[in-house]
Structure 1
């Protein structure tokens, strides 16, 4: 039976590997590999997302946390103007295939799935990363109207010092204003 490492153990292992690769120099590394985590505050599914090209986990509607993927490189010391690029794909009709009469993975089902996938939307946002004292996980929050918030934190969602307070089950407006 294999055991999975906890997110904290994964992060410690990544730091240990970074130190080992750097040749055990006395100077701390300029950048560290940082795990990626996400929270979805919408009724759509986030099929996939990336932070500066590093992949995050898929996230069901009104879900998140608990899963981290590796990695995005972040400076050990925050600096003004530090930005990250978030790209994601969204499925607005989650679970539609449950109601299809076609046998799963048949030609008819695959054709229907191709049509379903044509309604996926793809998004990109360049977001300024708020200041952080220590490198923790990079956490992306997907909000209604294709907005995102991103933080680098050592705290878990819901912790009093966690900077993002929006509930997972946010009310979504009927129409969104493009800003």
Structure 2
């Protein structure tokens, strides 16, 4: 079973690299990385550590969509792609944007019908987050914590794997960077932020 997961990961990364080579949808991690021929396209996977009451939506890393992480926490989605330098270097930082939704007062009858007026938007955040040391570029995990904090780690291992650099049950954020809140609004899926 583990071999199937490994082969799938290799396939997804190969497809992602072809996608980037064709010039579709990639954003360099920073301006310097676009000059390095050793950059690698990696997937973006959000992981939330705030509990089942919350979800993280509208994740962007340097403008590239990263999906979201539902109420159950980690690895909510994988999005393609962002470029990471082949070798980590000090000062490697990415702009991360995300929204947090509070499902505590969810009206399940409404949400089953696609109406989300009972869901409260805690806020929309932005942070300039350092990418932690990595040996080789792998999936970029964006970990989210309470109080608008985020952390970036590149790892081959899934967020639920004990070998992942950040334990899934970590709740305090450790090395996480505090984001700045840029908006408070009631969640209205399907509407632009300024509507």
Fold-level similarity (TM above 0.5): yes
Structure 1 position 72, deviation (Å): 1.2
Ranked by relative contact order (alpha carbons within 8 Å, sequence separation 6 or more), the top structure is 1
Q: Name the counterpart of 1:130.
A: 132
Q: Name the counterpart of 1:92.
A: 102
* Paired residue total: 155
Structure 1: state its 5+ residue gaps: 22-27, 172-176
Q: 2:44 aligns with which of 33, 36, 43?
A: 36
- Say if 2:128 and 2:179, in contact at 8 Å, map to a contact too: no
Structure 1 position 123, deviation (Å): 0.4
Q: Which has the larger radius of gyration?
A: 1
Structure 1 position 71, deviation (Å): 1.1
> Is the alpha carbon distance of 1:156 and 1:118 closer, same or farther for their aligned partners in structure 2, counting shifts above 3 Å?
closer
Q: Name the counterpart of 1:151.
A: 153
Q: Which moved more, 1:123-132 or 1:151-160?
A: 151-160
Structure 1 position 165, deviation (Å): 1.8
Q: 1:58 aligns with which of 49, 52, 68?
A: 68
Q: Name the counterpart of 2:81.
A: 71
Structure 2: state its 5+ residue gaps: 1-6, 24-35, 173-177, 181-195
1:77-130, Cα deviation, whole Å (9 max, x unpaired)? 111100011100111136724244x9947xxx6xx73xx577351001111111
Task: State TM-score, norm by structure 1.
Answer: 0.70
Q: Distance in 1 between matches of 2:71 and 2:60?
A: 18
- Say if 2:74 and 2:159, in contact at 8 Å, map to a contact too: no
Task: State TM-score, norm by structure 2.
Answer: 0.65
Q: Distance in 2 between matches of 1:178 and 1:17?
A: 31
Q: Distance in 2 between matches of 1:134 and 1:119?
A: 36
Q: Distance in 1 between matches of 2:76 and 2:121?
A: 28
1:15-45, Cα deviation, whole Å (9 max, x unpaired)? 3555688xxxxxx833222110111111311
